[in-house]
Amino acid sequence: MTQPYQVRFLQIPRWLAIVAGVLAVSFAVALFLLSLTVFLVLLPVIFVIGGLYYLFGWKRPSNVRRTDGVDIIEGEYRVVDPERIDRERTPRS
């Protein structure tokens, strides 16, 4: 047979509940103000840096090959007719 649960209510003083509530609300307000301040300070800085990069950003020429320690393998390529491959694969009788 299962034993019934025993629930005990702990009473805390009213002033302690009020202090805990005030601390929680003040912490939430402080966190909100901090995040708002960071957002309002960083947003214009990000826009200015983005605009400067857009206007004066370094652009690499597209026709220049990079050879900084990379081995480049060059070769000759030709298009092979698929019918010719099939003809060469089939045994001749």
Q: Is residue 74 part of a domain?
A: no
> Domain range spanning residue 36?
13-57
For residue range 22-54, what is the model confidence (pLDDT) as tens digits? 999 999 999 999 999 999 999 999 999 999 988
Give 65's contacts (C-beta < 8 A, 6+ positions apart).
72
Mean pLDDT of 14-29: 97
Whether residue 72 contacts residue 65, with contact meaning beta carbons closer than 8 Å, is answered with yes
Whole-number Å distance between alpha carbons of 82 and 65 = 34
Q: Is residue 63 part of a domain?
A: no
Q: Is residue 19 part of a domain?
A: yes
Number of domains within the chain: 1
Whole-number Å distance between alpha carbons of 43 and 56 = 20
Whole-number Å distance between alpha carbons of 37 and 30 = 10
Q: Is residue 28 part of a domain?
A: yes
Determine which of 10-14, 15-19, 30-34, 78-82 has the lowest per-residue pLDDT on average. 78-82
Q: Whole-model pTM?
A: 0.45
Whole-number Å distance between alpha carbons of 52 and 58 = 11
Q: Is residue 92 part of a domain?
A: no
For residue range 57-84, what is the model confidence (pLDDT) as tens digits? 877 656 556 666 677 778 888 788 888 8
Q: Is residue 27 part of a domain?
A: yes
Q: Is residue 41 part of a domain?
A: yes
Q: Is residue 39 part of a domain?
A: yes
